[in-house]
Chains A and B, each alone.
Chain A
């Protein structure tokens, strides 16, 4: 029972974090600075989450670096998301045997 209370608290906090800005904020932001800030945020968030975490993502740094190089190259040539993701995984898998 106690575990379920913890799970409920966890879920409630996580939902509130999402719903307060998304559910209640419906003004268009006029400030050029704020609009620019929010325009750049997605790229900044994804970049900070990926680096350096991607190098540790497979438990083998060399294999992860090889997977990363493959992903960067395919992304540069604008391959679809799923192709980039799967090829990075396959490359890391194969590099794991080195």
Chain B
């Protein structure tokens, strides 16, 4: 399949991400301006980072006059989950994914892009990822700009309801395979139960850390109970 087709297919697969990002980043734009950043600075944060929780934490540190060390530690903690996702995706790359392509596509490994890429049946090709990253980034940056420049125009009931979009998409990614494979159902349930326990019983642990601990524990358990032979894997 040609690069153009791959790019288009990636962009179409990324439409739900675009819609989710434009609404979530709208909220980020409002927050960033409230924290004292200019519209330009808020937009640059979104172009250069392409991450939700990390950006919110970063903007809060800037607003509070925190140190550079604090900034580095916060980003590491919140975003280290991308390393696991990147490692997981590195195992399903097509041979056309040469190192320069890997350097470029690394920019766009987000929770949502990872989710859709991981759910692909065939090996990942660079232009498929570029298409998805492109449309997602447009949504993320445009939403940030609009939120920063004109945050208070949309009725708050609408912006509030848009908050569930991306989570709805996550459910749509994990539920169908959990129906088919008992091992995946186990992973989903254990990880969710751990995450809920952390939230209410150990609230000191930050959201980013909690996700890592829950995901690693649930996956180790499933890998021990239901090891997958190579031919069974997509």
Chain A contacts to B: CB under 8 angstroms: 3-11, 13-15, 17-23, 25-26, 28-29, 32-54, 57-60, 63-64, 67-68, 71-72, 74-76, 78-82, 84-90, 92-93, 96
Report B2-26 CB contacts with A as 1/0, cut-off 8 Å. Answer: 0000000000000110011000000
Please, how many angstroms separate the alpha-carbon atoms of A93 and B163 in the complex?
Answer: 10
Rounded to whole Å, the gap between the CB of A27 and the closest CB of chain B is 9
Report if A32-B228 is in contact (Cβ < 8 Å); known contacts: A43-B174, A48-B192, A59-B163: yes
Structural contact, A10 and B165, CB atoms closer than 8 A: no
Structural contact, A23 and B99, CB atoms closer than 8 A: yes
Please, how many angstroms separate the alpha-carbon atoms of A87 and B167 in the complex?
Answer: 12
Structural contact, B169 and A81, CB atoms closer than 8 A: yes
Which of A10, A25, A57 has most B Cβ within 10 Å?
A10
11 pairs from A and B in contact (CB 8 Å cutoff): A6-B62, A10-B58, A25-B90, A33-B223, A35-B233, A40-B184, A40-B218, A44-B188, A49-B111, A58-B164, A92-B160
Please, how many angstroms separate the alpha-carbon atoms of A81 and B15 in the complex?
Answer: 9
Interface residues of chain A: helix, strand, loop or mixed (majority): helix
Rounded to whole Å, the gap between the CB of B51 and the closest CB of chain A is 6
Which of A3, A14, A25, A58 has most B Cβ within 10 Å?
A14
Count of B residues near A, CB < 8 Å?
102
Which residues does chain B contribute within 8 Å of A39, judged by CB atoms? 88, 223, 228, 233
Query: Within 8 Å of chain A (Cβ to Cβ): is B171?
Result: yes
Among B49, B76, B109, B172, point to the contact of A71 (Cβ < 8 A): B172
Among B37, B85, B168, B184, point to the contact of A88 (Cβ < 8 A): B168
Please, how many angstroms separate the alpha-carbon atoms of A54 and B223 in the complex?
Answer: 27
Structural contact, A22 and B223, CB atoms closer than 8 A: no
Rounded to whole Å, the gap between the CB of B134 and the closest CB of chain A is 17
Which residues does chain A contribute within 8 Å of B158, judged by CB atoms? 93
- Known pairs A17-B86, A71-B171; list 6 more (Cβ under 8 Å): A3-B37, A10-B54, A17-B76, A25-B90, A42-B114, A88-B167
Structural contact, A36 and B222, CB atoms closer than 8 A: yes
Structural contact, A45 and B90, CB atoms closer than 8 A: no
